[in-house]
Amino acid sequence: MALARRRALVGDDDVEVARAHSALGSVARAQRRLDVALAEHEAALAIDRRRLGDGHPDVARDLHNVAGVLRLRGDLDGALARYREALAIKVAALGEDHVDTALTHNSIALVLMARGDLDGAERELRLALPVFEAAGHGERAMVLHNLGLIAQRRGDHRAALARFDEAGLVYVATIGPDAAAPVRLLVDRAESERALGDRAAARRDAAEAARRAEAVEGDEGLAIGADAEALVAALGGTMGGTMGGKGRGGGGPRAEVGAGAGTGERAEIGAGTGTGTGTGERAEIGAGTGTGTGERAEFGAGTGTGTGERPEVGAGTGTDQAPRRDVGVYGSGQAWDRQ
């Protein structure tokens, strides 16, 4: 209805109509209707290309959002191509030291992580981290989290825990301990503690993650809770049936590790909404309108208004009913004011 009103006021080929398509794409993505999300983001992209030109930051945002949906559908090649196109526009229009550029580096890292290219993913994350640090931006937490996941995948669990500790401090200072990203972080910590033989610490963190997951809304909370419960069970603990009342099954552990988040261009861990200007792909929870940055880290939250993508692990079927589970995190949900 809102889209119809905008069309009636300004016509079909207007940037305001593109914004409406982008917002609808964000809603569809949050609902896991990925075919609809892709169509809406591609409609926004087509209008912005015609009205604004190929080098406009809004075109980069649209490309980023299209890439995010493709990644969730399992089309890693298509996602990487569009992320790289978005990155080239951002570098030319905004520069390498802009947080929007850093967000796309993080998203490219997520695709490379899903492909198993850990060296390439680490290079992208190391390009993003100093930009977020210099800006005092909370999305540095998602980058630290993802660097920890890379260390974990390599079997360097002590290095992974050190990165997780750094990420956790930033999460607590920005989005608090109970958002999806820091709750997912507890599960990731438990995995590395278990690998190092510290079963007591692993059981403690997994049980705490299961408890906190009760408050995380949507499919993400269910997934975190199931992963945490499965880990507790594997470690010989019990949850006392507390999660069963919520309808959460035990299931198995995540197919892969990863975190992401946000509505709009969320970083890739956690879920959240925020404000901001620029370009962005927001994590899978919530829908943002307008322009914004904040690409969810992949099990997490992002900042900005815009549209977003959530990372997933495993193989996807390319259908709305069975999206991939993401690898990595893409947004912490920190709202921030970019002056």
The pair of structure tokens assigned to 324 is 């991939």
pTM of the model: 0.74
- Which CATH number do you get for residue 77? 1.25.40.10
The residue segments making up the domain with residue 119 are 2-300
Q: Tell me: the pLDDT tens digits for 67-111?
A: 999 999 999 999 999 999 999 999 999 999 999 999 999 999 999
The tens digit of pLDDT for each residue in 220-261 reads 899 999 999 999 999 987 665 444 444 444 343 333 333 443
Residue 299's DSSP bridge partners are 260
**Please, where are the H alpha helices in 94-246?**
99-115, 118-135, 140-153, 157-174, 180-195, 199-213, 218-234
- Per-residue pLDDT tens for 143-152? 999 999 999 9
Residue 318 lies in a domain: no
Partnered with residue 307 across adjacent β-strands are 281
In total, the chain counts a number of residues equal to 339
Say if 117 falls within a structural domain.
yes
Has residue 177 been placed in a domain? Answer: yes
In a domain, 172, yes or no: yes
Task: Determine, yes or no, domain membership for 314.
Answer: no
Evaluated on CA atoms 268, 273, 277, 282, the torsion sign reads positive
Instruction: Tell me the pLDDT tens digit for each residue of 18-64.
Output: 999 999 999 998 888 999 999 999 999 999 999 999 999 999 999 99
The pLDDT score that the predictor gives to residue 4 is 56
The pLDDT value given to residue 94: 97
Cα atoms in the Cβ-side hemisphere of radius 13 Å centred on 137: 36
Query: What is the helix (H) or strand (E) element at residue 281, kind and residue range?
Result: strand 281-282
C-beta of residue 132 within 8 angstroms of C-beta of residue 102: yes
What confidence score (pLDDT) does residue 220 get? 87
Q: Is residue 319 part of a domain?
A: no
339: its two tokens: 């002056």
The answer for residues whose C-beta is within 8 angstroms of residue 284's C-beta and 6 or more apart is 29, 30, 32, 72, 220, 260, 261, 262, 263, 266, 271, 296, 308, 309, 310
Residue 321 belongs to a domain: no
Q: Flag whether 326 is in a domain.
A: no
Position 78 scores a pLDDT of: 98
Question: How many distinct structural domains can be found in the chain?
Answer: 1
DSSP per residue, 162-187 = HHHHHHHHHHHHHT-TTSHHHHHHHH
Cα distances from 78 to residues 181, 293, 313, 314, in angstroms, run 26, 21, 17, 17
Alpha-carbon span 229 to 249, nearest angstrom: 8
* Structural contact between residues 316 and 324, judged by C-beta atoms closer than 8 angstroms: yes
